[in-house]
Homo-oligomer: A and B are copies of this chain.
Amino acid sequence: MTESLLEPNGSRDASGSCAPDSHTVAARLAALSHPARIEILKHLSSSNSCCCREVVDRFDLAQSTVSQHLKILVKAGLVRFEPDRQRSRYAVDRAALADVSASLNALVNSCCSGR
The interface residues of chain B lying within 8 Å CB-to-CB of A68 are none
Number of copies: 2
The residue in chain B whose Cβ has the minimal distance to the Cβ of A21 is: B35
Contact of A114 among B33, B35, B45 (CB under 8 A): B45
B42 close to A110 (CB less than 8 A): yes
* Residues of A in contact, count (CB < 8 Å): 44
* B114 with A42: CB separation less than 8 A: yes
Q: Which residues of chain A (54-100) have a CB below 8 Å from chain B?
A: 59-61, 92, 94, 97-98, 100
Q: Besides A45-B111, A46-B115, 16 other CB < 8 A contacts?
A: A5-B61, A7-B39, A25-B32, A26-B35, A27-B33, A29-B33, A42-B111, A45-B112, A46-B114, A94-B108, A94-B111, A94-B112, A97-B112, A101-B101, A101-B104, A104-B104
